[in-house]
Structure 1
Amino acid sequence: MKTVIKYMFVVLILGAAGCASNPGSKVSAAELEALNNAISQKSIDITARWARPMPDQALTSIANAGLISPGSSINRIDITGSGSYLRVVQDSVMADLSYFGQRQIGGTYNPRKGGIYFKGLAKDFTVEPTKKGDGYTIQFSVNEGVENYQVTAHVFPSQISNVSVVSSHRGPIWYDGTWEPYNPE
């Protein structure tokens, strides 16, 4: 009986060790240097690959009608190839991001700018290391016409990025994607 208990104890320990989380991702010095350079030069180009709108009854109705593309859901929509981007160049910020959600305040209809679009000077611009210290958090606000946007972007050495946009006229939305140093060419 003691032998069985010993074997069960060993199996339990090995199982617990096997389930332990990865102690940390390995970031190369080149990746970290690329991120630090882009941050110090305020030159980042984020390409959105996934839109993550706040699910509501309207999006549920669209999904129930079968209008969400295959591989997507109402809270994670594939926008690869849509050209959605957020760009930071010094004090200027530009974005053309696909939007899924509801307008809270009416606005003019422009089929070319139905998403989140802005181009201007950032207000309250801050860059800080993330809480875990493995990337940076960029925050700013910007006005486009009568609409105000509060933007928070997280960029990591692995070239992964997350962006949240809170609008004065629409529901909030998040984006997942990649980043690279901005190249004007």
Structure 2
Amino acid sequence: MKLSHFVFGFLILAITSCSSSKSSVTEAQTKALDSMMQKPEFSIKSSWAQPQVTSAMNQLANVGLIPSGSSAGNIDISGITNYLKMQQDSVRAKLPFFGERHFGGGYNNNEGIEFEGLPNNLKIKKEKNAEYTMQFNIRDTNSPSETYQVYITIWPNLNTDITVTSAQRNPMRYQGKVQALE
């Protein structure tokens, strides 16, 4: 009998602990994000890149070729120029790429993910938890044969998550902050 009371008490404690850990979103944060997304003109600066961890990425980490304070699956890019900007009806981005490329990239010095132009199949949706999700397709600036599928989530606290996939590269994920363009 004592055991069942203990288990029941533990379950109640676990449930209430988990529900109280949810971060609260203020109405002001939600309204500010809604205002920004009415006419989406913003800039995202990422602080972390999260490549798909493969044995090759682990080997790079083991020999010390990944920046200090980073791991094979979480790389600090706060000191590297990177952005994703949406202005009027076009999108421009320059994001570093860490990972494996499956097909040749041509004979240029572009190693990152760069695109500029009108996004194809742009979808913007406000989700139940007040965050916005966006998705679109766009061609690489330097390699027209490569098309990216871009997925962006923007939360009311202005944190962002960008995921970029391509048939020619492993997927990349970026975490950062958004701010409205002036």
Q: TM-score range by the shorter chain?
A: 0.7 to 0.9
C-alpha distance in 2, partners of 1:87/1:53?
A: 21
- Size of the aligned set, in residue pairs, is 179
**Equivalence map 1:159-170=2 (5 Å):** 159-170=158-169
> Are positions 1:124 and 2:118 aligned together?
no
Instruction: Structure 2: state its 5+ residue gaps.
Output: none
**Counterpart position of 1:57:** 55
Given the two structures, how large is their TM-score scaled by the length of structure 1?
0.85
Could you list the runs of 4 or more consecutive aligned residues of structure 1 that deviate by over 3 angstroms after TM superposition? Answer: 7-18
Match of 1:108, as an amino acid? G
Displacement of 1:13 in angstroms is 7.4
**Counterpart position of 1:142:** 138
> Are positions 1:152 and 2:148 aligned together?
no
Displacement of 1:71 in angstroms is 1.7
C-alpha distance in 2, partners of 1:107/1:17?
A: 50
C-alpha distance in 2, partners of 1:101/1:123?
A: 25
Give CA-to-partner distance per residue, 1:42-100, whole Å, 9 cap, x none. Answer: 11211111111011121111011121222211111110121211111122001000100
**Counterpart position of 1:26:** 24
> CA 1:16–1:62 in structure 2 vs 1: closer, same or farther (change >3 Å)?
closer
Given the two structures, how large is their TM-score scaled by the length of structure 2?
0.86
Match of 2:133, as an amino acid? T
Identity in percent: 34
Instruction: Structure 1: state its 5+ residue gaps.
Output: none
Match of 2:112, as an amino acid? G
Asked which structure has the greater CA Rg, the reply is: 1
**Counterpart position of 2:111:** 114
